C-alpha cells in the first residue's frame, strides 16, 4: 500500500498548505526586485504597469492613438527587462513601418535588440530628448519616454491585433509569470539583500545569455 494512503485528511491538507506557502515565499524576492521595495502583499498581479489608453504589441512596444497620429514606445515590462539603455537607433522621419516588423533598435549592455512596430504607417516625429538621453526613457515609458510618432495606415485593423485594458494587464501578468519561472533560490537571496538593481531583470536572471532571453520577449515569443 502506498505510504500516502496512511495520511490523514488533516496531514494532507497541511502538506498542501506548506507547498502553497513555499510557492509564495519563492516569489516574494521577485516582487521586491520588480517594485524596488517590500510590497504590501507578497504575491499578486500588477508587477508591470500599462495605462488604459495604451495598446500593447506582443513584442512589448506600445501604441497610443492621438488625433490621427500614433505615439509609439517601449512598454514598462521591456524597460525593466532590459534595464538602462545605452543607445536608441530610431528610423528616419518619413520611414515606413509595418506591424510586427522591426521599427527601431535599442542598445543595452553592448547588445543590440530590435523592437517590432505595433502599427503600419510612416514615421512623422522622433523623440530627440529620449534619443539623446536613452537611459532616461525608462523613468516614464508611457509619457516622456515615447520614442516616435507614426501616421497610421490601417489603424483600425492594427488595433485588433494589440492588447488594451484588462487584456493588456493579463498579457503583462503572463510575461511576469514566465520570468518568475526562471527565478532561482540563489537569485532570491541576492534580491533580498538588495544586491540587484530594479531595472535589468534579464541580466539578473541569466548574466551570460540575458540578451537571448530579452530577444524572445521582444519577438513576441
Span 174-208, pLDDT tens digits: 998 888 777 654 444 334 444 333 578 888 888 88
| Residue 139: predicted pLDDT | 87
| Residue 200: predicted pLDDT | 86
Average pLDDT over residues 77-88: 93
d(CA 140, CA 169): 18
Span 105-115, pLDDT tens digits: 999 999 999 99
CA-closest candidate to residue 31, choices 198, 169, 218, 171:
198
Whole-Å CA distances, 103 to 49, 116, 144, 148? 22, 5, 19, 10
Whole-Å CA distances, 116 to 63, 119, 155, 175, 218? 11, 9, 16, 17, 7
Q: Would the pTM of this model clear 0.85, i.e. be above it?
A: no
pLDDT at 148 over 90: yes
| Residue 166: predicted pLDDT | 93
SS3 assignment, position 60: coil
pLDDT at 168 over 80: yes
d(CA 119, CA 62): 9
- Torsions phi, psi of 163, nearest 5? -100, 140
Residues 117 and 59 sit within 8 Å (Cβ to Cβ): no
Average pLDDT over residues 113-133: 97
Number of Cβ within 10 Å of residue 113's Cβ equals 22
Domains of the chain: 55-166 (2.40.50.100)
Instruction: Please tell me the least confidently modeled range out of 25-29, 65-69, 156-160, 214-218.
Output: 25-29
Average pLDDT over residues 76-102: 95
Span 31-67, pLDDT tens digits: 444 444 433 322 334 678 899 999 999 999 999 999 8
Number of Cβ within 10 Å of residue 37's Cβ equals 9
Amino acid at each position: 500500500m502506498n505510504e500516502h494512503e496512511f495520511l490523514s485528511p488533516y496531514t494532507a491538507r497541511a502538506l498542501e498548505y506548506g507547498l502553497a506557502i513555499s510557492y509564495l515565499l519563492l516569489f516574494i524576492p521577485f516582487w521586491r526586485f520588480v517594485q524596488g521595495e517590500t510590497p504590501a502583499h507578497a504575491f499578486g498581479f500588477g508587477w508591470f504597469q500599462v495605462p488604459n489608453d495604451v495598446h500593447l504589441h506582443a513584442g512589448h512596444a506600445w501604441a497610443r492613438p492621438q488625433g490621427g497620429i500614433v505615439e509609439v514606445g517601449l512598454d514598462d515590462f521591456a524597460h525593466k527587462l532590459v534595464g538602462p539603455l545605452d543607445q536608441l537607433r530610431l528610423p528616419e522621419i518619413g520611414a515606413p513601418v509595418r506591424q510586427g516588423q522591426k521599427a527601431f533598435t535599442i542598445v543595452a549592455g553592448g547588445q543590440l535588440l530590435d523592437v517590432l512596430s505595433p502599427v503600419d504607417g510612416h514615421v512623422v516625429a522622433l523623440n530627440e530628448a529620449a534619443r539623446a538621453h536613452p537611459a532616461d526613457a525608462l523613468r516614464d515609458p508611457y509619457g516622456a519616454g515615447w520614442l516616435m510618432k507614426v501616421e497610421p495606415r490601417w489603424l483600425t485593423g492594427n488595433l485588433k491585433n494589440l492588447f488594451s485594458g484588462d487584456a493588456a494587464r493579463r498579457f503583462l501578468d503572463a510575461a511576469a509569470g514566465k520570468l518568475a519561472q526562471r527565478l532561482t533560490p540563489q537569485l532570491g537571496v541576492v534580491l533580498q539583500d538588495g544586491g540587484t538593481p530594479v531595472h535589468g531583470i534579464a541580466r539578473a536572471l541569466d548574466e551570460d545569455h540575458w540578451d537571448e532571453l530579452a530577444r524572445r520577449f521582444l519577438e513576441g515569443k
